[in-house]
Chain A
Amino acid sequence: MFAAAAIALVVALALTVARALLGPTVFDRVLGANTIGTLAVCLMAVYGFLTERPEFLDVAIVYAFLNVLSTLAILKFFRFGSLGDPEDDEPAPRLETRP
């Protein structure tokens, strides 16, 4: 039955990868990347139960932290054009935000 949950997570992961590759705007790709990270966290936890090695949960916790931090950093870059470095006053890059 853990295998059923793992299969459902892998199917969802495949669909999310398709959205991250297709996505017309850059924010669709960021949404896909964030969702891939969350699904990977859950898949790690389920895989730890599947192989009866719960050490994977530690990796999952660290990965959850890294996932949300990287998403916020990427969004700050795409919103303001920089990461907030005071010496970096280049203009914002033009992105294709329209489909």
Chain B
Amino acid sequence: MSLAADILGWAFILAGSFFTVVGAFGLIRMPDLYTRLHASGVLDPFGVSLILIGLMFQAGFTLVTVKLAFLVLLLLFTSPVACHALARAALHREVKPLLDDERSSSSKR
């Protein structure tokens, strides 16, 4: 394996790990469901796809690379669909988004 592909793979894996942890912190820290969906979008297709792309660089050109590419494409297609369905279902069951004035009044209490 050439050195450039190795370094590029590690860069992708480290960036993916960073975005995964940041997204998980956002999932804990965000105030309501819809902002948590945004934090999940950082974690769910983006960070995980970066880690899998880094693994593709580490694997070289084998069947493993093809499987990883298939996994990345699958995640990139299905996870926005699941996120959208979640937001629509939550709106349908009347989960209200947290608005700015409610938030400032609740923080005064």
Contact = CB atoms under 8 A, between A and B. Distances in A.
Interface of A: 1-2, 4-5, 8-9, 11-13, 15-16, 18-19, 25, 27-28, 30-32, 34-35, 38-39, 41-42, 45-46, 49, 54, 57-58, 60-61, 64-65, 68, 71-72, 75-76, 78-79, 95, 97-98
A14 B94 CA distance: 29
B18 to A, nearest CB: 8
Q: Which of B23, B36, B47, B89 has the most CB of A within 10 A?
A: B89
Contacts, number: 137
B20 A12 contact: yes
Contacts of A35: 27, 40, 43-44
A43 B48 CA distance: 9
A61 B79 contact: no
